[in-house]
Structure 1
Amino acid sequence: MNITDRIRRSVRGRTDLVFRPAEFLAFGSEASVKRALKELTRIGVLVRLGVGIYAKAKPSVISGKPIPVQPLETLGPQALTKLGVRPQQSLQTSDYNAGRTTQVPTGIVVNVGKHRVSRKIGFNGRFVQYERT
């Protein structure tokens, strides 16, 4: 069984939705793992959310192209957690949920606390925005 098949089986059996290449280094060298992830992205098992961040994929009902199994609002904070950042609700979201405002927050904004994040996490032209407090 080659590395691509081993990674595919591992991804299928996990409950995680977001993956980093470092999680698969037990299967082979860094270069071979990256090649296998690129192949899995090409065939539609995974989608790339950013540099070194992949998510499980499913075919789109409309176009048939691979899309993430969950929306970016769910996958963005999970990806940040894998990177060592503790994401929280944005200030606008917490104000809306507490009833302090009636303005519905738009976009995907995540509060990253005091962390400085410059990484782009997104899919199909939509990206997570970061808010620091």
Structure 2
Amino acid sequence: MNAPAILHEILQALKDFYNKGERHVIYINKLPLTEEDKHVILDVLRDGQVKISFKSATQKVEWRETGISGVWIGVFFDRDEKPILETIEITDFPMLAACQREDIEEAIKTLEDRLSSLV
């Protein structure tokens, strides 16, 4: 059973994030985990209250914070909405879900255009 080792890794990563600000990602589907391991991990972490969905023309990703603040489970889907990558992220907010600098630049232009059409 590999679940205890993963849970200890999460605990250490959570301590490192708290003390040093270091974010950590565990690629779940790259590890030799059984279905029982996954159930144990989910039972220990439990469900949180926040869910984030990211949808683009080429990719869909969903994150949900677990019942342990700062521990997020992410699932990346292909075009057919089949899971292709599963992660556990130890962070305050999943970085891919955060607004990217290029998106903000485009948003400024969009809002300026919209405001100029009001005048």
Provide the TM-score with structure 2 as the length reference: 0.37
Q: Which has the larger radius of gyration?
A: 2
Provide the TM-score with structure 1 as the length reference: 0.35
- Structure number with the higher helix fraction is 2
